[in-house]
Amino acid sequence: MNKPSNVTDLDWKLLKEKYKEKKLEKVVKLIEKNYPVQYLIGNVDFMGYEIFVKKGVLIPRFETEGLVEETLNLLKEEKMDDISVLDIGTGTGCIPVVLKKELPNLEITSIDINKKAIKLAKSNASNYNVKINFIHKNVFHYKPINKYSLIISNPPYVSKDEPVGPEIKYEPKNAIFAKNDGFKYYEYIIKQGKKWTTEKNIFAFEIGCNQGKYLKKYAKDIYPNAKIIVKKDLSERDRYLFIINK
């Protein structure tokens, strides 16, 4: 059986280890229809950590590693390594698992509207033996009891009219698309977050590459004294928004 052109050598090796001849034929047919290879392998490498993935839960993207790296640097710089964290839309749990492994004194709560995501995120946390408070919850109904010093989120942010790649059709739509030109989650979290945060706090978001300018202004209107930074990814596209309230 020949390797499909859109599969890397490493992924092909993993697939051949996992699936025997007859099954591998079926797997190749699925890949030819753009079914994500990661679902077939069952895990991805996220910042050197093996994260389980499963159909029904969004596959972690490479760009999100940048969000976690930038946030870890910021927390170290600001000496905020033992704070309370709220992670909104946890998916596989890749963000809180890596944060907790890198800074074990963080107290992290992670929420997601998707039950399958919470179940998978729990298994990723237990695989790395880290304690994270996972809650199955819609962020628009969330009423936290505690205050957080970091709110981190890679929420759904793709506008309904934006063109997307073919692989996305196998991933959950409610992990990807957002109303209000993709801004619905950011606007709600930035505004509502005022009640949810300690005086000194950070908001860290992954954003779509055309959303930085609008979001910077939106955040400035709500937090006029904050330091607001839009950072680029390795392809020089606006990708991360940080609101720092000191």
Q: Rule CB under 6 A: which residues touch ligand SAM?
A: 58, 60, 64, 89-92, 94-95, 111-114, 117, 138-140, 154-156, 174-175
Nearer to ligand SAM, 27 or 44 (CB): 44
We find the least distance from the C-beta atom of residue 209 to ligand SAM, in angstroms, to be 14
Least separation, in Å, of the C-beta of 95 and ligand SAM?
5
Give the nearer residue to ligand SAM in terms of CB position, either 28 or 130: 130
**The tokens of 53 are what?**
């993935």
Question: 185, 112 in Cβ contact below 8 A?
Answer: no
State in angstroms the smallest separation of the CB of 52 from ligand SAM.
Answer: 12
- 232 forms bridges with which residues in the sheet? 238
Region of residue 102 (phi > 0: left; psi between -120 and 50: alpha; otherwise: beta): alpha
Q: Which residue has the tokens 């945060």?
A: 197
Residue closer to ligand SAM by CB (options 47, 94) is 94
User: Which one, 8 or 174, has the nearer CB to ligand SAM?
Assistant: 174
Residue closer to ligand SAM (CB basis): 28 or 65: 65
**Cα angle, residue 164 at apex, residues 24 and 154 outer, rounded to 5°:** 95
- Judge whether 59 and 45 are in contact, CB under 8 Å: no
Shortest Å, Cβ 3 to ligand SAM? 27
Provide the minimum distance between the beta carbon of 114 and ligand SAM in the complex, in angstroms, as a whole number: 4
Antiparallel, parallel or unpaired: β 227-232 and 84-88? unpaired
Whether the CB-CB separation of 60 and 127 falls below 8 Å is answered with: no
